[in-house]
A and B are shown apart, each in its own frame.
Chain A
Amino acid sequence: GNSVTQMEGPVTLSEEAFLTINCTYTATGYPSLFWYVQYPGEGLQLLLKATKADDKGSNKGFEATYRKETTSFHLEKGSVQVSDSAVYFCALSDLSNQGGKLIFGQGTELSVKP
């Protein structure tokens, strides 16, 4: 079945460091890929998305490129801030799999220190 695997956290970085959170997926068909972020005490918010191979999603300085050849959608940011501390979820949605169902990775906790 379809699945998403993320690097385990927690990831601890200093402010202004470079961030990479790895995400790989297994899917039949042609899924859309998403990154969601969950701040403490809140629900999930969409951070960025890509709907086809080689698309690059970007938002708030975060980027991820849909790589079909490596089945990956790694999240990157050039310079993190303390306010980026949160849990990040990679997800895929495949219409062929019961209609727009989102399958999430286990989440990666990011902690940014001043």
Chain B
Amino acid sequence: GQQVMQIPQYQHVQEGEDFTTYCNSSTTLSNIQWYKQRPGGHPVFLIQLVKSGEVKKQKRLTFQFGEAKKNSSLHITATQTTDVGTYFCAGEGGGNKLTFGTGTQLKVEL
């Protein structure tokens, strides 16, 4: 079945440093979504990308969808302590079923 992997699994950064997480699917995706889960919380939707090569920005966050629609990335510029959490990508490869990535846990140190 479809698999969605994310790297890295963990990332520790100093506040102010940049952070990137990469998402790779074993199959072509019709769209990809990104979620953030704070410690002790539940996943919260961030964004959805649909088009090949699409790039979207939300303040310090930049999301990209690969040309082949099999990979995606989330880049955070100048991390803050409020960015702490686990970031998940979720791809829909067919059949209206989302497959979540393995997640990247981000820790931000002062």
**B is bound to A:** no
